[in-house]
Amino acid sequence: MKADNFRAIKIFTLPLFLLMALLTGCATQMAPRYDEALYKGITQSNIEIMTLFASLSSGTEKNTFVTREARYNTLIGTVEALAIQSRARPMPESAITEQVNIYLKNRNIGPLQHNEAPSTNALHQIAKQLVKMKEVDKKSGLKAALVPIFKNAVVISLDQAITYESFLNR
């Protein structure tokens, strides 16, 4: 009798689980939603920042800093605003992510998901580079050798932000 009950439970558990999953919402969301305005904002900033780097490629003199200050401020403000926009999206909590994290924790591995989208960190990093670049430019002018270092740092973070945000368009 007990074996029969057990078999019956086994037969009905999977369909019941599937039905419940269907009724409670078929689509699982484990990552933030795609934000088209944010993506467009990042790609537009990419163009503007690369244009700035192109104009600085041979270095700068500190006495001409005032001609660039407003441009730095606009770009820093835009990138910081995009970081806020990225962070403002709710990060979904999913039962699947939770299960994966329990599995990872039991094996002493860090959790899969953090509270922030990686694009938020990447955008902060871009703003940080631009702020430092502005500071050096104002203080002593930018040596030509420093420009590619700042540029490559920004390119790395832009690539992280753009790749992640475009991946969210699923």
Our CB check for other proteins shows the closer of 6 and 96 to be 96
DSSP assignment of 59-116: ---GGGTHHHHHHHHHHHHHHHHHHHHHHHSPPP--HHHHHHHHHHHHTT---S--SS
Closer residue to other proteins in complex, CB, 46/113? 113
Q: How far is the CB of 137 from other proteins (least distance, A)?
A: 12
Residue ranges binding other proteins (CB under 8 A): 18-19, 21-23, 26-31, 94, 96-97, 100, 112-114, 117-119, 121-122, 125, 128-129, 132, 136, 143, 145-146, 148-149, 152-153, 155-157, 159-160, 163-164, 167-168, 170
Furthest C-alpha separation in the chain: 92
Smallest gap from Cβ 89 to other proteins, in A, equals 13
Query: At CA 85, angle to CA 79 and CA 88, rounded to 5?
Result: 140
Query: Is residue 44 a contact partner of residue 79, using CB atoms and an 8 Å limit?
Result: no
Cα 36 to chain centroid, rounded: 14
Q: Among residues 3 and 15, whose Cβ is nearest to other proteins?
A: 15
Q: Which is nearer to other proteins, 44 or 152 (CB)?
A: 152
Angle between helix axes 118-140 and 36-55 (nearest 10 degrees) is 20
Least CB distance from residue 50 to other proteins, whole Å? 14
What is the nearest approach in angstroms of other proteins to the Cβ of residue 1? Answer: 30
